[in-house]
Amino acid sequence: MPDLIRQGDSFVVFTFIIIALGLGLGLVRRIVMNAQEIRKEAEAALRDCEKRYRALFENMTDPLLIMAPDGHVIDYNEAAERFFECSRQEILNININTLFSIDVPENEETLQNGKTVEIEYEINEQTKYLNLTLNSCLWKGNRILFGMGKDITDRRIAEEQIRYLAYHDNLTGLPNRLSLREYLNQCLTRAKKNNKTVGVLFIDLDRFKIINDTLGHNTGDSLLKAVAHRLKRCVRGSDMVARLGGDEFTIVLPQLNRLDDCVGVSKKILSQFQKPLKVGRREFHVSPSIGIASFPKDGNDVETLLINADAAMYKAKGQGRKKFLMYTPSMKEQALARMEMEDALYRALEKNEISINYQPQIQVSTGQIIGMEALARWNQPREGLISSIDFIPLAEKTGLIIPIGEYVLYNACKQNAAWLTKGYSPLKVGVNISSYQFRQCDLVDMIKRVLKDTGMDAGYLELEITESTVMQDMEYAKAMVRELKQIGVHVSIDDFGTGYASLGYLRMFPPVNGLKIDSSFIRDITGDENVSKALVATMIVLARNLNMKVVAEGVEDEHQLDFLVKHGCDIVQGYLFNKPVAAEDFEKLLCKQSDVNVGYLKRVK
């Protein structure tokens, strides 16, 4: 019995063990199955992650590169393929280190924070630029380099363009003032070390302003381009030709052995400009005036050399143009005097130094004063009374002609209105309008305002516009003259015959009231020069046929007057009758009008 019990117990134990083993195997099976499912889920998640990574990697707009530590590309995205414009095999053969001479640090710590390099890549004759940031990381147990790129080609091109514009003249493409100064400073540094000479040529085109004002800025700009091209043909490749602005050019001649080389280049330039410059269908004879300064003889720094070369150029221009001069110390004194006059002119209006003189205009048929020309004078404290012939060009150069012109117009109208109020016979006052004023968009409004403020009737104002101003833009001139005449003022053409218009252009002129024959023609009719006599006579006939009054200025002797009377000139003015005088002296002439008539009538008749 006990044995049976013991056998039963063993059976139970065995059974229990069998059951336990079965349960354990099921549990293990379930664990294994769960592990497989987890692994599959992990693998699926990994594949999904890699898919997202690849999608992100491929769709990045910037180039991405994965490289081995030695710099060989092992993977890349589509943006990198577009940047390098290579096939897959070509890109995988690229070694960043050797292709772009990048020194990738061996120290991994250096790359943990990234290293940014800028690489230049040339493909199909086009240069591209890539900003590449390199980082070191582990991938599947291996060290790799991850490069994040940024295509900066457009930015570099824009930067280069900005730099080019900063250092070059926009019109001619020549180096500008900033570039000139940097280059000249470098040349001086080398010359001091090598004991060499540096030459500086300051060049200004003679009478360029006349061409620019007469034919317009488009023609002037084309002419400046042609001048720049010709100047470059006169120098070596190491020399610099720069444009400072307007019609001013500078040439730097570095590493010279002797000063005479500057003279040789100057002679070559003058010789080259004896040939006309062709612009479109026109040919222009343009001559340069050249001033020369040299290191170390005439200065040791950039500023001094440029100032001294400029002073020499002005001296050359003053001695008849179309020549060159070497700088001498006396030239600087003259240049400083010119600068001082320019500074003084800025203060002239504030200090009431600008005054107006009036020159009477005599009607030939009656001998009476029927008008006057208002002429600006500058009462310079140190130099005394300066004629408008001397300071108006300076005013135009500095832009002061605009406020000075309005000042003269206002005071001339105010004075004439005062004489009319006092009961003197009505007079027309002629006021010169410079080409700079004529181009002002608010000219008509300014004249209206002056007439309103002074209370003078528009019919007593005559604006004198030079022939060259009219010829500069005929259509604009016609439109402007029509506007002026609509407000009631009279308009006349001044200095006729001195510009580029032929007599045939008279019929094309705006419908002006009068024509003023330049004094240079009047001066020549007293001699044996038949051409001037014929020209003056023809001008008078043509102008009168076009219903224009003819005024002859600069009449100085009886022979001139007799000729003008004989050929039907309407009005005369000049020293034969009276020089320009101050307002109080002109009023004395008006007070003695009856006596003056007798004197003038004798001369006229």
Q: Tell me: the pLDDT tens digits for 400-411?
A: 888 999 999 999
Look at residue 139 and tell me if it is in a domain.
yes
Domain at 355, CATH number: 3.20.20.450
Is residue 326 within a helix (H) or strand (E), and if so which, with residue range? strand 324-326
- Tell me, what's the pLDDT at 203? 94
Q: In this structure, are 153 and 209 located in the same domain?
A: no
Decide: pTM greater than 0.85: no
Q: In this structure, are 315 and 395 located in the same domain?
A: no
Share of the chain above pLDDT 70, in %: 80
Q: In this structure, are 224 and 273 located in the same domain?
A: yes
Q: Tell me: the pLDDT tens digits for 533-590?
A: 888 888 888 888 888 899 999 898 888 898 889 888 999 999 888 899 999 999 988 8
Domain at 148, CATH number: 3.30.450.20
Q: In this structure, are 193 and 323 located in the same domain?
A: yes
Q: In this structure, are 186 and 115 located in the same domain?
A: no
Collapse the DSSP code of 216 into the 3-class scheme (helix H, G, I; strand E, B; otherwise coil) and give the result. coil
Is residue 434 within a helix (H) or strand (E), and if so which, with residue range? none
Are 416 and 456 in contact, with CB atoms under 8 Å apart?
A: yes
Q: One-letter amino acid identity for 137?
A: C
Q: In this structure, are 252 and 294 located in the same domain?
A: yes
Which has more pLDDT, 242 or 214? 242
Q: In this structure, are 174 and 146 located in the same domain?
A: no
Distance CA 325, CA 313 (A): 7
Q: In this structure, are 316 and 222 located in the same domain?
A: yes
In total, how many domains does the chain have?
A: 3
Domain at 297, CATH number: 3.30.70.270
Look at residue 42 and tell me if it is in a domain.
no
Look at residue 4 and tell me if it is in a domain.
no
Look at residue 238 and tell me if it is in a domain.
yes
Domain termination residue (choose one: 136, 157, 178): 157
Specify whether the backbone of 372 is left (phi greater than 0), alpha (psi in -120 to 50) or beta. Answer: beta
Distance CA 586, CA 465 (A): 24
Domain span including residue 98? 64-157
CA distances to 471, 568, 573 from 539, in Å: 17, 11, 17
Q: In this structure, are 446 and 495 located in the same domain?
A: yes
Q: In this structure, are 178 and 320 located in the same domain?
A: yes
- To the nearest 10 degrees (0 to 180), the angle between helices 474-486 and 443-454 is 20
Look at residue 531 and tell me if it is in a domain.
no
Distance CA 448, CA 42 (A): 90
Domain termination residue (choose one: 295, 327, 359): 327
Joined tokens for residue 219 = 């023609």
- Tell me, what's the pLDDT at 228? 92
Q: In this structure, are 292 and 173 located in the same domain?
A: yes
Look at residue 335 and tell me if it is in a domain.
no
Q: Tell me: the pLDDT tens digits for 287-307?
A: 899 999 999 999 999 999 999
DSSP assignment string, 359-415:
EEEEETTT--EEEEEEEEEEEETTTEEEEHHHHHHHHHHHTTHHHHHHHHHHHHHHH
Q: In this structure, are 172 and 143 located in the same domain?
A: no
Look at residue 102 and tell me if it is in a domain.
yes
Residues 6+ apart with CB under 8 A from 514: 462, 490, 491, 492, 493, 543, 548, 549, 550, 551, 571
Domain termination residue (choose one: 294, 327, 360): 327
